[in-house]
Amino acid sequence: MATRLCWLGHACLLLESDGKHVLIDPFLTGNPAAATTADKVQADFILVSHGHGDHVGDTVAIAQRTGATVVCNYEMSGWFEKQGVKKVHGQQHGGGHHFPFGYVKLTLAFHGSMLPDGSYGGNPAGFLITFKDGTRIYDAADTGLFGDMQLIGAEGIDLATLPIGDNYTMGPDDALRAVKLIGPRQVVPIHYNTWELIAQDAAVWAERVRKETQSEAIVLKPGEWITIKA
Ligand code: NI
Ligand code: MN
């Protein structure tokens, strides 16, 4: 019952564990790097880190098609209900909740969170997910570097997904510092190469991670799966 991760392009991740599909930040329509489409992707739960369009993406359409529960901060949960999403679960930073697939805690993220229609989206979050098989994943989502990543790392991270695109989030240098603070067993770069403004050479970054840390850096192609070492 291994836990698997697929990078679907940009910040969109699909996690599969014990037959459950957990989709994160499903920006597929309009995403030049999208590896699937909103009418095909599987989801039992959809986690949305913040209100920006490149993260909310197709959440409403996918939730309506699949009946998935949307998990996000309290402010956005009310907005999703107004958009017609039937099953919504609101949490807040530092708070965790047990779902059928595992435990999800919202973490800090230094970023913005305005929703696509200009509504207030609360504060942006990352996700610390502990699956039933014990696999623990930290998706930093959109954020700058912050020292408390060390506290998140102290929980013991099997795999971290970190933005490296720069401009809107950490760039390669700060993402490398983040790897040192978190100390994940494996790390996957995200939120780069979607557009020219966030173009980065992930292979070069991965080589720096290998040289300077104990973490295994894995560069995925959009649509590629990996099994996470628990
Ligand atoms: Ni954003
Ligand atoms: Mn973003």
pLDDT in tens, 146-175: 999 999 999 999 999 999 999 999 999 999
- Determine, yes or no, domain membership for 226: no
pLDDT per residue as tens digits for the range 72-94? 999 999 999 999 999 999 999 99
- Determine, yes or no, domain membership for 227: no
Measured in Å, residue 109 CA sits from the centre of ligand 2 at 12
Domain containing 69 equals 4-218
Ligand 2 is an ion; its neighbours by CB within 5 Å are 54, 142
Distance CA 138, CA 14 (A): 13
DSSP string, 158-171: SEEEEE---SSS--
- Determine, yes or no, domain membership for 101: yes
- Determine, yes or no, domain membership for 225: no
69-73 sheet: strands from edge to edge = 88-91, 69-73, 45-47, 20-24, 13-17, 3-7, 225-227
Number of domains in the chain: 1
Q: Provide the CATH number for the domain around residue 106.
A: 3.60.15.10
The pLDDT, as a whole number, for residue 122 is 98
- Determine, yes or no, domain membership for 39: yes
pLDDT per residue as tens digits for the range 17-50? 999 999 999 999 999 999 999 999 999 999 999 9
Measured in Å, residue 124 CA sits from the centre of ligand 1 at 8
Measured in Å, residue 143 CA sits from the centre of ligand 2 at 9
- Determine, yes or no, domain membership for 228: no
The pLDDT, as a whole number, for residue 1 is 65
Single out the residue of 12, 20, 104, 15 nearest to residue 58, CA to CA.
12
Measured in Å, residue 50 CA sits from the centre of ligand 1 at 7
- Determine, yes or no, domain membership for 59: yes
Measured in Å, residue 190 CA sits from the centre of ligand 2 at 10
- Determine, yes or no, domain membership for 212: yes
